Amino acid sequence: MTHVDRSIEVILAGQHDSGAYVACPTFPTYRYAWLRDGAWCAYALGLYDKWDSAGRFHRFAARCVLDHAELFGASRVVEPPTRYTLDGRIEDPGDEPWPNFQLDGYGTWLWALAEHARTGHPPTGTELDAARLVARYLRENGAASCYDCWEEYGDRRHTATLGSVIAGLTGAAELLSDEDSAIAAAGLRELLGEHVRDGSFVKHDATDGVDASLLWLSTPLRVVPADEPVMVRTAQRIADELTGPTGGVFRYRGDTYYGGGEWVLSTAWLGWYHAETGDMETARARLRWVEEAFTEADELPEQTVDYPQDTEMVVPWVAKWGPVATPLLWSHAMHLVLAAAIPD
């Protein structure tokens, strides 16, 4: 079986009857369905014509929103969650507080739903009703500070999150023929300028550092063209500052989660950007790194911890939550996306 076939198999096996994709079937803390992870899985499977699976996820996401419609009022009095149980409920794991307010998942879901429609799969009435609620919420709250896609720094405005919200509202404007969402997306675009330092996008509004998730802005969200100087400089900084000792890519400098190793997701995003800008040789090298990260059980982990940034922080995380989450479904999704971007 090829690595690509295996990635498809792992994602399909991780889809619950409800349509939810579990984040990781073997890592107890990740027994939930994140909108972020799921939207990327649906997008990746669409590239391989697995439309039925992608459609089932979108119907699941729409049901989660409509079943909790009271959380999507125009004001941010209550905050919609970033993850749901596999049968669409809201539940917090364990007794420790775990950040659950992250707008990128909702933006990415709307974006993925619009992509699904653009490729000839019109949304159902339920999906449109849910999209309308989410779009209204994002129009009002899209610039609010919230936890980032790594569930950290809840008091900041994150650049990748802003990009996801802009792309989501742009998608909603198309799906719903909704001028208000297009206007809101244009307004949020203006804010992106506040997230540039020295010609490069930065992780959030109060840092000079970069984060691999900044690559989403161009690939695939198309908020900023891949060849625009600020994007070129951002990608260059990510390659220079975040490439680890084995050629994989860190999430950001200073990451300590499981020691902060090289991540499959980040490496695939950078490879995807290279493919997009025509540097197939570097894209292929990143794909090779990702495929070498497959374990003996033929699964992709969340990260590799052979060369962590902070060696002292591996053991405490393993003691707390067990070995690194494997297989991580959205690692497999990003492997699929990168493989699709590189011609044979």
Residue 212 half-sphere exposure toward CB, CA atoms < 13 A:
26
Residue 149 is a binding residue for ligand BGC (CB under 6 A): yes
- Least separation in angstroms between CB 312 and ligand BGC: 19
Q: Helix 280-292 to helix 329-341 angle, to the nearest 10 degrees?
A: 150
Strand, coil or helix: 15: strand
Extended strands (E) in the chain: 33-34, 83-84, 196-197, 200-201, 262-263, 303-304
Candidate ranges 31-39, 57-65, 184-192, 286-294; the one touching ligand BGC (CB under 6 A): 31-39
Restricted to residues 75-134, the positions that interact with ligand BGC (CB under 6 A) are: none
**Contact of 221 with 213, CB cutoff 8 Å:** no
- Least separation in angstroms between CB 289 and ligand BGC: 20
Give the one residue of 151, 205, 279, 310 binding ligand BGC; rule: CB under 6 A.
151
Binding string to ligand BGC for residues 36 to 75, with x set by CB under 6 A, is what?
Answer: xx--------------------------------------
**Contact of 56 with 19, CB cutoff 8 Å:** yes
Can 302 be counted among the known catalytic residues?
yes
Can 291 be counted among the known catalytic residues?
no
Residue 34 is a binding residue for ligand BGC (CB under 6 A): yes
Restricted to residues 194-253, the positions that interact with ligand BGC (CB under 6 A) are: none
Q: What is d(CA 159, CA 103) in angstroms, rounded to the nearest whole number?
A: 11
Determine the size of the site formed for ligand BGC (CB under 6 A). Answer: 9
What is the DSSP-derived secondary structure letter of residue 311? G
Residue 226: CB partners within 8 Å, gap ≥ 6? 218, 219, 232, 235, 273, 276, 277
- Least separation in angstroms between CB 281 and ligand BGC: 29
Residue closest to ligand BGC (Cβ): 23
Binding site for ligand BGC (CB under 6 A): 23, 30, 34, 36-37, 149-151, 328
Catalytic sites, residue numbers: 148, 151, 302
